[in-house]
């Protein structure tokens, strides 16, 4: 198998060996900041005495709040002048977290990203257009430098503006894009409105990530554009994209275990989950100098996929992210994730490109409203057919989430579109 980096094909033994060596180095580096210095001392762990990977569990978890408290540079483990760049999380769920990178950090990140892209068939003769936001968001520069590392002609198009995206695709013959799932469907819709056929443009591969989406959503993007979609996972705290990526099998994302130690834990007890069991992903960085992060609770829910991938890579696979622990909402005592709703909606061909979940209180109790865009050709159908569709969707949703929602069908392109990551849930029950 041709690979960008031979670590991609390491055996389990080789991975474990590298993990131990790199974790020792990481512990030595992390001890240089007060925060980890104290935690490591309390746990009796030092670079010298750390000789068993299972001892990692003696360290407490690092939470998002820990990182927020250390903002902006509390976790810095190298002199400031060795830092060449900083990034922040998008702040989707609150105050930002800042991560500072040394030159080596930036290089190893670009290598990881190039590895992901090479794995799914991107080569130096591809033209790569990055349709994600730039700036502090790691989906911009993070993927950009990976594409350049591969030698692709790289177009930093940025987010939105479908007309300009299309012009760049046409003028430069773009073959690979990076795009948010929510924007991919919107782009398709805008192209169709401009009288274009999205299947006729030359893009053959889309790297899609940064927010949760279902497999049904993926198939929609693939069908609309006639291309292959590969799921890309990462988070600013662990550099950004390049942490885990789907291989050509499209059956789970390989976590690059030579660069990260993954754990999946029960979010309540903190105990490890068995393979196949859903829990919270916890990550430890192994190659970072500027700001190593140990046992970081991502709040992302997934599971290790049991068994080996047929592609031959031995880096463990995780399932696509089910959602963030923070995304879960409770209606009438039932825990619900937006992706459960998306899964049902996307199984209806009549359903269009966007949906919105509204939580309200009508004075008697919680009301779950689901607004669903319907494809134009179906919206002109008679009222009876539309009501029938609405009731069928409501019934199928109830079967999935055990709460009967109020489904409202709306015309395509009428729901709010987010600039960056999609807003799927608006909770109007909380006091403003
Ligand atoms: P923020 O948490 O503010 O959005 P980031 O920009 O660092 O900050 O985003 C990282 C988060 O985005 C992850 O923790 C995860 O919740 C989500 N994410 C990233 N990639 C994916 C993906 N492929 N599938 C689902 N969720 C993803
Ligand atoms: Zn594989």
Dist. CA 233 → ligand 1 center (Å): 7
Report d(CA 246, CA 152) in Å as an integer: 20
Instruction: List residues near ligand 1 (CB under 6 A).
Output: 89-93, 137-138, 209-212, 231-236, 298, 300, 321, 324
Q: Residue 42 — pLDDT band, cuts 50, 70, 90?
A: very high
Report CA(359)–ligand 2 centroid distance (Å).
39
Alpha carbon of 176 to ligand 1 centroid (Å): 21
User: What whole-number distance in Å separates Cα of residue 256 and Cα of residue 116?
Assistant: 9
Query: The tokens of 224 are what?
Result: 């609309």
Q: Is the pLDDT of residue 95 over 90?
A: no
pLDDT digits (tens, 9 = 90+) for 228-258: 999 999 999 999 999 999 999 999 999 999 9
Instruction: Check residues 311 and 333 and name the one with the higher pLDDT.
Output: 311
Residues 6+ apart with CB under 8 A from 388: none
- Mean pLDDT, range 43-47, rounded to an integer: 97
Taking the centre of ligand 1 as the mean of its atom positions, its distance from the CA of residue 207, in whole angstroms, is 14
Going by alpha carbons, the residue nearest to atom 18 of ligand 1 is 210
**pLDDT confidence band for 90 (50 / 70 / 90):** low
CA distances from 428 to 176, 362, 401, 415 (A): 39, 11, 20, 16
Q: How far apart are CA 7 and CA 18, in angstroms?
A: 10
Query: Which numbered ligand comes closest to the C-alpha of 249?
Result: 2
**Cβ density class 143-161: b for 16+ within 10 Å, e for less:** bbbbbbbbebbbbbbbbbe
> Is residue 298 pLDDT above 80, yes or no?
yes
- Ligand 1 atom nearest residue 298's Cα: 14
Measured in Å, residue 311 CA sits from the centre of ligand 2 at 4
Residue 390 Cα, ligand 1 centroid: separation in angstroms?
32
Rounded Cα gap, residues 211 and 132, in angstroms: 12
The pick from 96, 134, 178, 212 for probing ligand 1's pocket by mutation, whose C-beta has the most ligand atoms within 8 angstroms, reads 212
For 400, the enclosing helix (H) or strand (E) is helix 383-401
In the structure, what pLDDT confidence band is assigned to residue 376 with cuts at 50, 70 and 90?
A: confident
Q: What is the model's pLDDT at position 326?
A: 84
Contact partners, residue 53, CB within 8 Å, separation at least 6:
16, 19, 20, 23, 261
The pick from 96, 178, 235, 242 for probing ligand 1's pocket by mutation, whose C-beta has the most ligand atoms within 8 angstroms, reads 235
> Which pLDDT does position 419 carry in this prediction?
75
What is the average pLDDT value for the chain, to the nearest integer?
A: 95
* Nearest ligand 1 atom to alpha carbon 137: 6
pLDDT tens, residue by residue, 165-202:
999 999 999 999 999 999 999 999 999 999 999 999 99
Phi, psi of 156 (to 5 degrees): -80, 70
pLDDT at res. 93: 67
Do β-strands 176-179 and 205-209 pair in parallel, antiparallel, or remain unpaired? Answer: parallel
**Ligand that comes closest to the CA of residue 230:** 1
Question: What pLDDT shows up at residue 432?
Answer: 46
Tally helices (H) and strands (E) across the chain: 11, 20
Task: Kindly state the percentage of the chain with pLDDT values over 90.
Answer: 89
Ligand nearest, relative to CA of residue 244? 1
Residues with CB under 5 A from ligand 2 (ion): 247, 249, 309, 311, 313
Residue 49 clears pLDDT 50, i.e. is over it: yes
Q: What is the pLDDT of residue 377?
A: 85
Atom of ligand 1 nearest to the CA of 93: 3
pLDDT 10s digits, 105-118: 999 999 999 999 99
pLDDT in tens, 193-226: 999 999 999 999 999 999 999 999 999 999 999 9
pLDDT for residue 355:
96
Which atom of ligand 1 lies nearest, measured to the CA of 236? 7
Q: Extract the tokens encoding 104.
A: 């080596």
Give the number of the ligand closest to the Cα of residue 87: 1
Three-class SS of residue 354? Answer: strand
Phi, psi of 128, deg, nearest 5: -110, 125
- Mean pLDDT along residues 89-118: 91
Ligand 1 atom closest to the CA of 299, numbered from 1: 14
Q: What pTM did the predictor assign? A: 0.94
**Centre of ligand 1 from the C-alpha of residue 105, in Å:** 20
CA–centroid distance, residue 109 to ligand 2 (Å)? 20
Predicted pLDDT of residue 417: 84
- Ligand 1 mean position to 324 CA, how many Å? 9
């Amino acid at each position: 198998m041709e690979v960008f980096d031979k670590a991609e094909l390491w055996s389990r033994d080789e991975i474990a060996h590298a993990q131990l060596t790199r974790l020792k180095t990481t512990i030595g580096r992390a001890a240089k900041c007060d925060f980890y210095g104290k935690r490591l001392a309390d746990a009796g762990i030092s670079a010298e005495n750390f000789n068993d990977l299972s001892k990692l569990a003696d360290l407490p978890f690092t939470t998002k709040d820990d990182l927020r408290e250390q903002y902006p540079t509390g976790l810095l483990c190298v002199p400031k002048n060795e830092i060449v760049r900083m990034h922040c999380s998008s702040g989707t769920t609150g105050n930002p977290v800042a991560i500072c990178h040394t030159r080596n950090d930036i290089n190893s990140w670009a290598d990881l990203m190039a590895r992901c892209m090479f794995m799914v068939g991107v080569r130096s003769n591809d033209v790569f257009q990055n349709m994600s936001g730039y700036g502090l968001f790691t989906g911009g520069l993070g993927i950009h430098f990976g594409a350049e590392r591969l030698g692709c002609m790289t177009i930093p198009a940025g987010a939105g503006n479908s007309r300009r995206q299309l012009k760049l695709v046409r003028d430069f013959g773009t073959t690979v894009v990076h795009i948010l799932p929510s924007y991919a469907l919107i782009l398709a819709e805008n192209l169709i409105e401009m009288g274009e056929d999205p299947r006729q443009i030359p893009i053959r591969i889309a790297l899609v990530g940064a927010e949760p989406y279902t497999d049904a959503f993926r198939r929609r993007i693939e069908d609309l554009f006639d291309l292959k979609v590969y799921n890309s996972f990462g988070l600013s705290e662990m550099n950004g994209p390049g942490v885990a990526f789907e291989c050509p099998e499209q059956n789970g994302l390989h976590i690059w275990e030579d660069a990260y130690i993954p754990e999946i834990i029960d979010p309540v007890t903190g105990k490890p989950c068995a393979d196949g069991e859903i829990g919270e992903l916890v990550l430890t960085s192994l190659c970072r100098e500027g700001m190593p992060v140990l046992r970081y609770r991502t709040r992302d829910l997934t599971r290790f996929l049991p068994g080996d991938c047929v592609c031959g890579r031995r880096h463990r696979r995780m399932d696509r992210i089910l959602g963030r622990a923070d995304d879960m909402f409770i209606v009438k005592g039932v825990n619900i994730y937006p992706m459960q709703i998306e899964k049902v909606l996307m199984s209806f061909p009549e359903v269009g490109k966007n949906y919105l979940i509204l939580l309200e209180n009508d004075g008697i109790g919680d009301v779950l409203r689901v607004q669903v865009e319907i494809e134009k050709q179906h919206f002109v159908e008679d009222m009876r057919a539309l009501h029938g569709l609405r009731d069928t969707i409501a019934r199928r949703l109830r079967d999935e989430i055990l709460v009967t929602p109020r489904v409202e069908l709306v015309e395509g392109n009428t729901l709010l579109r987010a600039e960056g990551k999609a807003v799927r849930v608006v909770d109007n029950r909380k006091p403003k």
